[in-house]
Chain A
Amino acid sequence: MEALDNLSIGFVEVMTFYNIMIIFMGSIFGTIVGALPGLGPSAGIALLLPLTFGMPVTTALCLLVGSYMGTMYGGRITAILINTPGDAPAIMTCQDGYPMMTQGKGGLALGISAISSFVGGAFGLIILVFGAPIISKISINFGPPEYFMLMILGLSTITLLAGDKMLKAALMTFFGFAIGIVGSDYVSGYVRFNYHPELIEGIDFVAIIIGLYGIGEVLFNIEKLIHLDLGKPSFKIREFIPSLKELKQITMPTLRGSVIGTMIGILPGAGGTIATFLAYTSEKKASKTPKRFGNGAIEGLAAPEAANNASVPGALIPLITLGIPGSGGTAILLGALIMYGLRPGPLLMVESGTIVWTMIAGLILANVILLISNIMLIPIFINIIKLVQKYLSPIVASLCLLGAYSLNYGMFNIWVVMIFGVIGYGMKKFKYPAGPLILSVVLAPLTENYFRQSLMLAQGKFSIFLLRPISLGILIVILVIAVLSIVNNYRNKAKKRVMAN
């Protein structure tokens, strides 16, 4: 067990009082930054980076990975409390987390999601410790055609599994895709919709999320004059620690979510986001009572949260084995490694193995600290909301707009948030699902890029998607899902007709 030996060396490095305190601070900092709408893992790590100068390399890395893991825990907090996900991977947490909040079970939602986050993170870390070299060898066989097929898998499952709302979901998917291709195209450098300098970069999907979810919900509540009714501030532990029965209920969903998160999280670009969507939809499909999903089903909360956190170590695998960042957060970590004089690449584990193992040990420690601190933080967050529940809508609106401003230090994203707020309000009224739209916006530029690169690799032949075994395999999975869900839909309709007769 070479991996375990190395890991124990890493733990020896980490286990000083100073480092543990640093990880603790980083975790709390990350949790709060992740909870703020508009600020995600990239912002969290970037904000801490200047602080790490002058620290020993291992301590600095502990601080950064602690806050990275923390932002992943934090993203779920605002998603559950005020229906405003801080980042794309937290979108699916809204789906069942926020309904639980409106039912007065917000504390429980936070508790369950903290536990499944921990399990997901731990699962991903185990894979990272024992499987990193093997997985990186497999992952380099993934080229543009495979990535393209995976994107299509994500997009088609969320549309096809929308049940009787399939057409509405399709509309949202295409709408999101059309929004996502605004801006410069990676391959040729052409700028589409070049009417405003900010549009060259495309519309920031975080601004769209804040608008659709945060402002959309605020407008809906203002129209109906809805207030949360959570009762007086209190500190009952029962309110946020799940019962044994509930724990049993979420065990399998959490484990399934962890597996999906670790596997898909390795994909560069949007691994974590796709993983949470797939975890949610597959859980809904597997459930005997899919009707509960979207109305506060704890399985629907646990699975995507586990997937989200399992994708963190997953994204680190290509970083430490090949020097390729798999997500925004790991991209900044890569920069940090370079600044500390390390050179991420095939020789990193050979030349600076101790530092890498120390970083992994730091992550494991951060995951434990985060579970404890996040459960302790629940009453604070819940009671802050309880304190202002009658005043919530304008507060959420202001917070969302400030978050939008912080994305790019400009007013442009504030207007984007306002426009998508109105669209989100309409979608909520007419019952159009927001998930497909967001996933589509996030994936559109990547999908286009991989599609074009695939064709270029094949020198113009579309057959490339069929000739490569992995991409063909994914294509078959997509087709099976498509056929099954269409048949299913048809059967359900026929059943309804029989019932009506």
Chain B
Amino acid sequence: MKKLLLLIFILTLIIVGCAQEPASQPSEEEPAVEAEVEEEEEPAEESSFPERPIEFVASYAPGGGHDTLMRTMLKIIQDEGISDASINVVNKPGGSGAVGMAYVNGHAGDGHYLMAATSSLITTPLTSDVGLTFRDLTPIARLGIDPELLLVNAESDYETLDDLINAGKVLNIGGTSTGGIEHIAAIKLQIIAGVDINYIPYQGDGEVVAALMGNQIDMVFTNPNSAIDYIKSGDFRPIAITTEERVDLMPDIPTFKELGYDIVVNIYRGVMAPGGVSDEVVAYYTNMIEELVATEEWQKDYIERNLIVEGYLPGEEFGEYLEEVYLLYEETLTELGLIK
């Protein structure tokens, strides 16, 4: 009896263990896949990376923009067989993205980490002392840009932007991080449109949306991706969008510009690797992303579904773009008094 039970126990261990194994070992087919992608240089060395599972790091809680980006990328990479490497998505929420950045930066020189990057990559180090800047990380690619939506609960009395401007009291507005893009948009709303606001940072888009659902706050700035279902279900009423022109997928939502207020703030979505990684790692990820953005699934499942404006830029150009954005943010944030 004892032996039998032990045997069952060990068997289960082995069965589950075996099932797990293929995922945790570097794939053998990889060189073949890489070879197809016109990159012929040293396939032998290419196969040495990754040596263990890669971590896709999202600096916000699941359900947020970072998380959706990393999970969609992962799904397409696995479905289309772009890479056979074992990849896990890891959430490191908190500190307006600082926790995730510190986590990735803590693994400098180790290419097994790829981080989703949005505006907080630049704004958080600017507004608080986190001990690193975006220059400490290696830019891999910019994948797209996405706009911000101003929304109110459908039950509220506010129908248009003018209603908000004439509310006659300080309005509570929710967004994700202090000094982040939504905060900047909110402050612009105050300065340019004259809406009296009090900004409340929540952790992740999911919480922001829930707060508006429960009427905890008057309005929110959030990306279309987190809000679209609630707009469709009639829970939320969109007021305006921060793009230059109306977005094809939501043609009914006016832009701030056409309402007469020059609020155009968009954020980029990209990916970064830790600093000091080898060229081999950069090439590996660049190939992976190039293949990824060319797939139809990417267009359908990410760009269209999340209402993102396309804008792929490879590593070095993305780096230059980040420098430009940095200057812009530094100027705006100093002007707004957010840089201490």
Contacts and interface: CB of A to CB of B under 8 A. Distances in A.
Contacts of B229: 343, 345-347
Interface in A304-357: 318, 322-325, 331-332, 334-335, 338-339, 341, 343-347
Contact of B198 (A186, A187, A459): A459
Interface in B1-57: 1-2, 5-6, 9, 12-13, 15-16, 19-20, 23, 53
Interface of A: 25, 28-29, 32, 46-47, 49-51, 53, 140-144, 183-191, 194, 197-198, 200-201, 233, 235, 268, 318, 322-325, 331-332, 334-335, 338-339, 341, 343-347, 376-377, 379-380, 383, 445, 449, 453, 456-457, 459
A32 B6 CA distance: 15
Contact of B87 (A50, A191, A323, A377): A50
Interface string B66-78: 0110011011001
B165 interface: no
A457 B95 contact: no
A420 to B, nearest CB: 21
A190 B79 CA distance: 40
A456 B9 CA distance: 54
B127 A189 contact: yes
B68 A189 contact: no
A189 B13 CA distance: 43
B62 A186 contact: no
Given A194-B131, A347-B229, A341 B301 contact: yes
Nearest to B78: A53
A198 B217 contact: no
Contact of B94 (A143, A201, A323, A453): A201
Given A322-B213, A331-B61, A347-B233, A188 B99 contact: no
B2 A49 contact: no
B203 A49 contact: no
A339 B19 CA distance: 21
Contacts of B103: 201
B197 to A, nearest CB: 10
B91 A51 contact: no
B12 A200 contact: no
A334 B102 contact: no
B242 to A, nearest CB: 22
A25 B79 CA distance: 24
Given A50-B86, A323-B63, A201 B102 contact: yes
A456 B170 CA distance: 12
A380 B6 contact: yes
Contacts of B90: 46
Interface residues of B, number: 72
A189 B67 contact: no
Interface of B: 1-2, 5-6, 9, 12-13, 15-16, 19-20, 23, 53, 61-63, 67-68, 71-72, 74-75, 78-79, 86-92, 94-96, 98-99, 102-103, 105-106, 124, 127-131, 170, 172, 177-179, 198-203, 206-207, 209-211, 213-214, 216-217, 229-230, 232-233, 235, 301
A343 B98 CA distance: 27
Contacts of A194: 129, 131
A219 to B, nearest CB: 30
A186 B206 contact: no
A46 B88 contact: yes
Given A25-B16, A201-B92, A338-B67, 17 more contacts: A184-B98, A186-B94, A187-B178, A197-B105, A200-B130, A201-B103, A338-B62, A339-B72, A341-B75, A344-B63, A347-B233, A379-B5, A380-B5, A380-B6, A445-B94, A457-B217, A459-B198
Contacts of B23: 50-51
Nearest to B16: A29
Contacts of B92: 201
A415 to B, nearest CB: 15
Contacts of B6: 380
A143 B216 CA distance: 6
Contacts of B62: 325, 331-332, 334-335, 338
A51 B19 contact: yes
Closest 5 CB pairs of A and B: A184-B95, A140-B214, A143-B216, A189-B128, A189-B96
Contacts of A46: 88, 90
Contacts of B61: 325, 331
B118 to A, nearest CB: 15
B233 to A, nearest CB: 5
Contacts of B105: 197
B99 A201 contact: yes
A32 B200 CA distance: 42
Nearest to B200: A456
B94 A324 contact: no
A200 B200 contact: no
A245 to B, nearest CB: 28
B12 A28 contact: yes
A324 B63 contact: yes
Contacts of A339: 71-72, 74-75
B320 to A, nearest CB: 26
A318 B229 CA distance: 16
Contacts of B217: 457
Contacts of B75: 339, 341
B200 A457 contact: yes
A183 B177 CA distance: 17
A413 to B, nearest CB: 13
A189 B200 contact: no
Nearest to A380: B9
B198 A456 contact: yes
A187 B99 CA distance: 13
Instruction: Select the residue from A25, A190, A343 with max chain B CB neighbours within 10 A.
Output: A190
Given A186-B203, A325-B63, A453-B202, A233 B172 contact: no
27 contacts: A28-B16, A32-B13, A46-B90, A50-B87, A51-B23, A53-B79, A143-B211, A188-B128, A189-B96, A190-B128, A191-B95, A194-B131, A200-B98, A318-B210, A322-B210, A324-B210, A325-B63, A335-B62, A335-B67, A335-B89, A338-B68, A339-B72, A346-B230, A346-B235, A377-B9, A380-B6, A456-B199
B214 A142 contact: yes
A46 B105 CA distance: 22
B129 A457 contact: no
A187 B74 CA distance: 30
Contact of A200 (B20, B68, B87, B102): B102
A346 B61 CA distance: 18
A233 B209 CA distance: 56
